[in-house]
Amino acid sequence: ALTTSGAAGDYIAALSGAMSERVTTSAWIPDRPSLTLAAEAHVLEKPRSRVGVASREAVALLRHSTLADEVGRWNPDVVHIVFGEGYPSALKAARSLASEGTPVAATWHDPKPHGQVFDRVQHAVAAQTMRTASGVHVHCESLVPDDVRAKTLVAELPAFPCPSCSGRTTQPMRAEGTIAMVGRFAPYKGIDQACAAL
């Protein structure tokens, strides 16, 4: 996971715990925010600013993947890119590992591109990561792009309702009081759902 901020960190902690109960699991995660995992953890130094992260990722396109070397030395049966699939360093690691015969799976969080320039760049990188991967995990059937459909696993319980997976959707929590939403003010962040809830 190349990012563990916010809910991503909770997800990684829970996933590593569940996986560690079944198979020998090792995780490569950023050093910030710090996480306590059930799996063996390998900490990756994360630049202190967004500019630093962007600079590192731009350079990653040109350099050999040292991350792939480190993961490869662990001799995994499979590697799962859980978060950060749109980072060039994830793409480079996926390509390097796949070329050496290691199966790579990847979760694609936003298979449909958004309008912002930076988001479109990340989407283009993520699309290349998915083409490299042996398997692609997505959260909802309606989001699966045709060019990766053959190797896609759709989540058993989608995170939000859609016409193609009705009846299999998790139910939202019910609560009274204030509804607070923190995030970019853009339709794809779920503002329409927040308005419907009101």
Give pLDDT tens digits for 93-131.
Answer: 999 999 999 999 999 988 888 778 888 899 999 999 999
Burial class (CB in 10 A: 0-12, 13-18, 19+), 180: exposed
Q: Which residue has the higher pLDDT, 49 or 169?
A: 49
Instruction: Read off the DSSP letter of residue 32.
Output: S
Distance between CA atoms of residues 105 and 40, nearest Å: 19
The pLDDT of residue 61 is above 70: yes
Q: What per-residue confidence (pLDDT) applies to 165?
A: 59
Name the token pair of 117. 């320039």
pTM of the model: 0.78
Q: What per-residue confidence (pLDDT) applies to 166?
A: 57
Alpha helices for the chain (secondary structure H): 7-20, 50-60, 66-73, 88-99, 117-132, 191-197
Asked whether 89 and 60 are in contact (CB, 8 A), the reply is yes
Distance between CA atoms of residues 150 and 154, nearest Å: 11
Asked whether 148 and 131 are in contact (CB, 8 A), the reply is yes
